[in-house]
């Protein structure tokens, strides 16, 4: 498969799922999918090996492996799906598995909070994305991304472009933690370190970037796209790299540099030029390699020394030489030193920044600042803990076992190999760029030595600035801590938002759920009345004149009976009498059914009335007496009842005077005997023509019975205790 | 309520109602009746019995827990649909078997439609009784 893709071809596999809705399980492999899939499976395998040892002996190790493999599956599905709805399903699956993995240490409050925060943030983004996807589908007429990308201008030229773009960006920015939706990602570091390395650095958080790259051919090229991505990316990049310097926890520092990388990728994807996209494709690989390696190294430090505080770790290289070496190589790639892949990535970033369509100087400046900070942070994360002599090493520390070392070493070495032999990486970067740009725009060549040019000078400036920042890191950090503790934090804002939502829903619930049955009935009937009356007066006009037909004596008698029952119910002070009165009304109704030759309905009505009276009579013994002389004291009730009666009467009059479509009746009358061998149409409809409906109904009957049974049997706790001898 | 006459009468009435309910169930396809009505009639019979003799006796007479009866009914109704699917038709398409069929007489008609109606009967019976019994016992 790999040679096919590197040759510039694409693969597609379609399996129809819900063809009537255009939902297919279709997979599409091009350079972009392949790059991601290789990162996911490659880093995934190393992380699996690592975590087998990292979590060895943990009670829930099996559960952890299950979550991690599920995530890997979902992530591969995400990057290979062609159908946007299938992509959404996988997208949500990664959100859920990420939630489970962040909350893996579920007995810690902080883990649970972080997991929930990540779930809600990415979940809301996911919903926005779904709305965007549906709009895309209705605009373009298909959900297959490969087909949409083959129709240039179908989205950018549409009036729906702006809403679609905003919704898709909401999904991508929450997933890839762009400022100001970034705060969940540093909190997600509550997960075990292999998870942070895998999900929250190398793969899942790049899903948003992947989405931006995937839709790039049909979205890019507009001012909105360019400026939104450039500004969001640049702000995230600079903000995150400054925040990274502030951290004393090495893992958190790495988390913020991940944010910086995501910002850089977003920034680069805002453009269309060959340089910027090549830079994005390369930097994607570079970052995944060195960042996963460094996370795993921090995990090793944490596991072997018991701390990952930058202020306590010094000179550990003597105790753990192999870890130190892997960390060193990865960090050199991160800082962008030649001959590592990071250098190529950085040179391309500068070249790309200078080629952006928006503000080359500003963007290049932002890249310069963040790259210089990367140099400083690379030093803090992997030079100081291993080589610095400004503190005493923690004693009695052993080198990590080999399964934990394999991952960082391979990932770090890959950064070096790809740096020295960039043509090996070129073969996959070229089809990736082609996939992102959407046409045969040639990818720029990856070269270690690109000659003396502006990016080279910017690189040198980066190193100088980076060393200066490293030298003054402690002062800078204290200064930053001073600022950030005074500034309002997003995390506190989140807490306030959550508390507000909880308080709001509590107030709403208290308002709606009064617990008084009468109030529920008011609301139900009033809503129905308003809806019916509104429709009646806006959609139709006038009260139809009914020509009074010959009314037989029987009809009059039934009418009087119903009237009598109603009167009895309204005026009585006794519950039993009221129920009996209602029963009389019900029997009157049954007689009307009989008069109009609907025996089945009449029998059912009679039986139900009988049973209802029995049930009510049983319950009435426990109910309090009705208010004495309540007659005339509940005008609102009377008004509601009268209104409902009037509206129903008008509707019935309209129905009976208007034309009735008898198509269905005729069908059932003619088809009942020949097709279903039954002469009782009502029954044939119930059990044969509409059997599925009936099945649903009896299921509801059963559920209702179970619920009522449970309600009746549920007793207050203290009473249950008394029952026990 | 402790009246010998009522109890004796209720027993007889309940028996008649249950038999009548089965008659209503079976004739339902061609004349007024059917599973829903049949189930309600049978339930009325047991309710009368329960009022006269107490729910304990009524439960014993019923032999099965009303909730289980309703659940079984739902299962039987579902079975009628599945049978159709097994024979290759759409879910819930009626499947018919005419025993002793002749030119002008259909013989004894057996069908999944009847199976379905029996399911409805049992659901209605079980649901009504589980509510009624629980209500009467809690008062």
Question: Model confidence over A377-422: pLDDT tens digits?
Answer: 888 888 888 888 777 777 778 888 888 888 899 998 988 888 888 8
Residues of A in contact with B127 (CB under 8 A): 701-702, 704-705
Give the 3-state DSSP-derived string for A64-109, with helices as H, strands as E and coil as C. HHHHHHHHHHHHHHHHHECEHHHHHHHHHHHHHHHHHHHCCCCCCH
Q: What is the pLDDT of residue A724?
A: 41
Residue pair A282/A348 in contact by the 8 Å Cβ criterion: yes
Whether A481 is covered by a domain: the verdict is no
Residues of A in contact with B117 (CB under 8 A): 683, 687
Q: What is the pLDDT of residue A549?
A: 67
Task: Write the DSSP assignment of A35-51 as a string of letters.
Answer: HHHHHHHHHHHHHHHHH
Pair (A521, A644) in one structural domain? yes
pLDDT at A694 over 60: yes
Task: Supply the range of the domain harboring residue A18.
Answer: 1-219
Pair (A235, A198) in one structural domain? no
In tens, the pLDDT along A537-580 reads 887 776 666 666 677 788 888 889 999 999 888 888 788 888 88
CB nearest A688 (choices: B47, B94, B123): B94
CB nearest B70 (choices: A600, A694, A702): A702
Asked if B30's CB is within 8 angstroms of A678's CB, the reply is yes
Pairing of strands A23-29, A11-18: antiparallel
Q: Dihedral of the CA atoms B15, B17, B18, B23 (nearest 10)?
A: 130
- Residues in CB range of A184: below 8 A, 6 or more apart: A114, A117, A118, A121, A122, A177
Tell me which residue of A697, A691, A700 sits closest to B79, measured CA to CA. A691
Whether A133 is covered by a domain: the verdict is yes
Nearest chain B residue to A673, by CA? B30
Asked if B124's CB is within 8 angstroms of A705's CB, the reply is no
pLDDT at B109 over 70: yes
Cα distance between residue B3 and residue A620, in whole Å: 22
ipTM: 0.89
- Return residues 662-721 of A near B (CB < 8 Å): 676-680, 682-684, 686-688, 691-692, 694-695, 698-699, 701-702, 704-706, 708-709, 712-713
Asked if A621's CB is within 8 angstroms of B135's CB, the reply is no
Cα distance between residue B112 and residue B116, in whole Å: 6
Pair (A566, A626) in one structural domain? yes
Q: Which residue has the higher pLDDT, A462 or A619?
A: A462
In tens, the pLDDT along A620-655 reads 767 776 666 666 677 888 888 889 999 888 888 887
Confidence of residue A721 (pLDDT cuts 50, 70, 90): very low
Cα distance between residue B85 and residue B95, in whole Å: 10
pTM score of the predicted model? 0.71
> In whole angstroms, how far apart are CA A388 and each of A312, A385, A467?
11, 6, 15
Residues of B in contact with A610 (CB under 8 A): 44
How far is the alpha carbon of B62 from chain A, nearest alpha carbon, in Å? 17
Whether A497 is covered by a domain: the verdict is no
Residues of B in contact with A704 (CB under 8 A): 127
Residues of B in contact with A677 (CB under 8 A): 29, 94, 96, 106, 109, 111
| Helices (H), ranges, A336-453 | 341-354, 360-378, 384-387, 402-420, 422-437
Q: Which of A60-74, A377-391, A430-444 has the highest mean pLDDT?
A: A60-74
Asked if A692's CB is within 8 angstroms of B131's CB, the reply is no
Check if A576 contacts B (Cβ < 8 Å).
no
Give the CATH number, domain containing residue A560. 1.20.120
- Phi, psi angle pair for A44, to nearest 5°: -60, -45
Number of Cα atoms under 13 Å in the Cβ half of residue A164: 21
In tens, the pLDDT along A131-190 reads 999 999 988 888 888 888 888 788 888 888 999 999 999 999 999 888 888 888 888 888
- Residues in CB range of A287: below 8 A, 6 or more apart: A258, A261, A265, A345
Whether A92 is covered by a domain: the verdict is yes
Pair (A642, A678) in one structural domain? no
**From the CB of residue A488, how many other CB atoms can be counted at a distance below 10 Å?**
8
Pair (A520, A383) in one structural domain? no
Q: What is the pLDDT of residue A722?
A: 42
In tens, the pLDDT along A468-507 reads 888 888 888 888 888 877 777 778 888 888 899 999 999 9
Whether A9 is covered by a domain: the verdict is yes
Asked if B116's CB is within 8 angstroms of A691's CB, the reply is yes
Cα distance between residue B56 and residue B51, in whole Å: 10
- Return residues 584-623 of A near B (CB < 8 Å): 599-600, 603-604, 607-608, 610-611, 614-615, 618-619, 621-622
Tokens in use for A471? 């030298």
Asked if B30's CB is within 8 angstroms of A680's CB, the reply is yes
Q: What is the pLDDT of residue A209?
A: 92
Asked if A676's CB is within 8 angstroms of B135's CB, the reply is no
The burial class, CB within 10 Å (0-12 / 13-18 / 19+), for A249 is middle
Cα distance between residue A277 and residue A438, in whole Å: 11
**From the CB of residue B13, how many other CB atoms can be counted at a distance below 10 Å?**
16
Asked if B80's CB is within 8 angstroms of A621's CB, the reply is no
Pair (A171, A122) in one structural domain? yes
Confidence of residue A108 (pLDDT cuts 50, 70, 90): confident
Nearest chain B residue to A692, by CA? B92
CB nearest A687 (choices: B47, B117, B138): B117
Pair (A247, A396) in one structural domain? yes
Q: What is the pLDDT of residue A628?
A: 62
Tokens in use for A393? 């090493």
Q: What DSSP element (H or E) covers A220?
A: none
Residues of B in contact with A682 (CB under 8 A): 32, 34
Whether A167 is covered by a domain: the verdict is yes
Pair (A422, A570) in one structural domain? no
CB nearest B32 (choices: A599, A684, A687): A599
Nearest chain B residue to A697, by CA? B120
Asked if B94's CB is within 8 angstroms of A676's CB, the reply is yes
**From the CB of residue A450, how many other CB atoms can be counted at a distance below 10 Å?**
15
Tokens in use for A594? 């009989």
Asked if B91's CB is within 8 angstroms of A704's CB, the reply is no
Cα distance between residue A719 and residue A153, in whole Å: 71
Cα distance between residue A465 and residue A457, in whole Å: 12
Whether A509 is covered by a domain: the verdict is no
Q: What is the pLDDT of residue A608?
A: 87
- Return residues 643-662 of A near B (CB < 8 Å): none
Asked if B109's CB is within 8 angstroms of A691's CB, the reply is no
> In whole angstroms, how far apart are CA A285 and each of A40, A125, A260?
11, 25, 15
Pair (A253, A349) in one structural domain? yes
Whether A130 is covered by a domain: the verdict is yes
Pair (A178, A133) in one structural domain? yes
Query: How does the average pLDDT of chain A come out, rounded?
Result: 84
CB nearest A702 (choices: B43, B113, B127): B127
Pair (A204, A238) in one structural domain? no
- Residues in CB range of A49: below 8 A, 6 or more apart: A403, A406, A407
pLDDT at B93 over 80: no
Pair (A416, A444) in one structural domain? yes
Vertex A103: Cα angle to A102 and A104 (nearest 5): 90
Q: What is the pLDDT of residue A723?
A: 43
Q: Which residue has the higher pLDDT, B104 or B24?
A: B24
Tell me which residue of A272, A294, A264, A460 sits closest to A383, measured CA to CA. A294
Best residue of B18, B45, B90, B113 to probe chain A, by most A CBs closer than 10 Å = B113
pLDDT at A205 over 80: yes
Q: What is the pLDDT of residue A96?
A: 93
Q: What is the pLDDT of residue A495?
A: 86
Last residue of a domain, one of A444, A471, A498: A471
Contacts 24+ apart (CB under 8 A), A233-236: A233/A178, A233/A263, A233/A264, A233/A265, A233/A266, A233/A267, A233/A268, A233/A269, A233/A270, A234/A263, A234/A267, A234/A362, A234/A363, A234/A366, A235/A179, A235/A263, A236/A177, A236/A178, A236/A179, A236/A182, A236/A260, A236/A262, A236/A263, A236/A266
Q: What is the pLDDT of residue A632?
A: 66
Q: What is the pLDDT of residue A527?
A: 92
Best residue of B28, B125, B137 to probe chain A, by most A CBs closer than 10 Å = B28
B80-88 mean pLDDT? 82
Total count of domains within chain A: 4
**From the CB of residue B95, how many other CB atoms can be counted at a distance below 10 Å?**
16
In tens, the pLDDT along A253-294 reads 888 999 999 999 998 888 888 888 888 888 899 899 999 999
pLDDT at A719 over 50: no
pLDDT at A21 over 80: no
Local structure of B117: helix, strand or coil: helix
């Amino acid at each position: 498969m790999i040679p096919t893709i590197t040759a510039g071809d694409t693969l597609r596999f379609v399996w129809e799922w819900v063809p009537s809705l255009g939902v297919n399980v279709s997979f599409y492999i091009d350079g972009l999918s392949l790059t991601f899939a290789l990162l996911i499976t490659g880093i995934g395998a190393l992380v699996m090996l690592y975590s087998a040892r990292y979590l060895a002996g943990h009670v829930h190790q099996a559960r952890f492996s299950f979550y991690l493999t599920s995530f890997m599956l979902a992530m591969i599905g995400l990057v290979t799906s062609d159908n946007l709805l299938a992509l959404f399903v996988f997208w949500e699956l990664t959100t859920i598995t990420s939630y489970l993995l962040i909350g893996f240490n579920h007995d810690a409050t902080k883990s649970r909070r972080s997991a929930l925060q990540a779930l809600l943030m990415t979940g809301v983004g996911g919903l926005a994305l779904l709305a965007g996807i549906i709009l895309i589908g209705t605009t373009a007429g298909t959900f297959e991304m490969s087909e949409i990308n083959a129709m240039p201008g179908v989205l950018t030229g549409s009036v729906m472009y702006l809403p679609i773009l905003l919704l898709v960006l909401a999904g991508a920015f929450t997933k890839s933690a762009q400022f100001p939706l970034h705060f969940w990602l540093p909190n997600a570091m509550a997960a075990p370190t292999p998870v942070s390395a895998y999900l929250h650095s190398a793969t899942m958080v790049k899903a948003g970037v992947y989405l931006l790259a995937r839709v790039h051919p049909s979205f890019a090229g507009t001012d909105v796209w360019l400026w939104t991505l450039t500004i969001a990316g640049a702000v995230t990049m600079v903000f995150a790299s400054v925040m990274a310097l502030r951290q004393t926890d090495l893992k958190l520092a790495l988390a913020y540099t991940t944010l910086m990388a995501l910002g850089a990728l977003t920034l680069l994807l805002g453009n269309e030029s060959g340089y910027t996209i090549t830079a994005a494709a390369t930097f994607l690989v570079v970052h995944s390699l060195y960042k996963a390696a460094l996370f795993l190294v921090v995990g090793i430090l944490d596991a072997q020394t018991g701390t990952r505080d930058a202020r306590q770790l010094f000179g550990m290289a003597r105790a753990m030489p192999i870890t130190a070496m892997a960390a060193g190589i990865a960090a050199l790639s991160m800082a962008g030193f030649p001959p590592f892949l990071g250098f190529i990535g950085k040179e391309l970033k500068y070249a790309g920044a200078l080629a952006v369509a928006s503000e080359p100087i500003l963007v290049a400046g932002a890249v310069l600042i963040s790259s210089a900070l990367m140099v400083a942070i690379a030093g803090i994360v992997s030079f100081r803990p291993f080589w610095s002599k400004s503190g005493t090493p923690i004693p009695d520390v052993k080198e990590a076992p080999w399964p934990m070392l394999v991952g960082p070493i391979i990932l770090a070495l890959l950064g070096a190999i790809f740096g020295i032999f960039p043509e090996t990486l070129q073969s996959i970067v070229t089809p990736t760029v082609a996939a992102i740009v959407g046409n045969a725009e040639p990818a720029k060549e990856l070269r270690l030595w690109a000659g003396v040019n502006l990016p080279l000078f910017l690189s040198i400036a980066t190193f100088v600035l980076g060393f200066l920042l490293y030298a003054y890191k402690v002062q800078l950090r204290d200064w930053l801590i001073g600022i950030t503790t005074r500034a309002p934090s997003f995390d506190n804002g989140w807490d306030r938002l959550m508390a507000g939502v909880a308080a709001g829903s509590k107030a709403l619930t208290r308002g709606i759920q009064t617990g008084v049955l009468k109030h529920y009935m008011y609301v139900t009937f009033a809503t129905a009345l308003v809806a019916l009356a509104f429709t009646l007066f806006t959609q139709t006009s006038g009260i139809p004149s009914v020509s009074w037909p010959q009314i037989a004596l029987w009809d009059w008698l039934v009418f009087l009976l119903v009237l009598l029952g109603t009167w009895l119910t309204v005026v009585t002070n006794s519950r039993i009498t009221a129920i009996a009165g209602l029963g009389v009304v019900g029997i009157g109704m049954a007689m009307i059914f009989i008069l109009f030759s609907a025996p089945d309905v009449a029998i059912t009505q009679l039986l139900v009335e009988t049973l209802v009276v029995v049930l009510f009579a049983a319950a009435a013994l426990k109910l309090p007496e009705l208010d004495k002389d309540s007659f005339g004291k509940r005008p609102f009730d009377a008004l509601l009842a009268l209104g409902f009666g009037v509206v129903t009467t008008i509707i019935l009059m309209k129905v009976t005077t208007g034309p009735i479509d008898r198509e269905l009746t005729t069908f059932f009358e003619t088809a009942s005997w020949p097709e279903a061998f039954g002469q009782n149409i009502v029954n044939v409809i119930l059990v044969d023509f509409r059997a599925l409906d009936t099945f649903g109904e009896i299921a509801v009957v059963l559920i209702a019975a179970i619920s009522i049974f449970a309600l009746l049997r549920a007793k207050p706790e203290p009473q249950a205790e008394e029952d026990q001898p | 309520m402790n009246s010998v006459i009522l109890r004796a009468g209720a027993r007889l009435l309940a028996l008649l109602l249950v038999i009548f309910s089965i008659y209503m169930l079976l004739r339902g396809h061609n004349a007024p009746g059917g599973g829903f009505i049949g189930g309600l009639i049978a339930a009325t019979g047991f309710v009368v019995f329960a009022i006269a003799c107490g729910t304990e006796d009524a439960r014993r007479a019923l032999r099965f827990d009303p909730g289980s009866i309703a659940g079984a009914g739902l299962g039987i109704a579902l079975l009628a649909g599945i049978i159709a699917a097994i024979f290759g038709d759409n879910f819930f398409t009626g499947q018919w078997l005419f025993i002793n069929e002749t030119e002008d007489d259909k013989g004894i008609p057996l069908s999944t439609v009847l199976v379905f109606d029996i399911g409805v009967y049992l659901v209605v019976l079980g649901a009504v009784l589980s509510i009624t019994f629980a209500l009467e016992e809690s008062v």
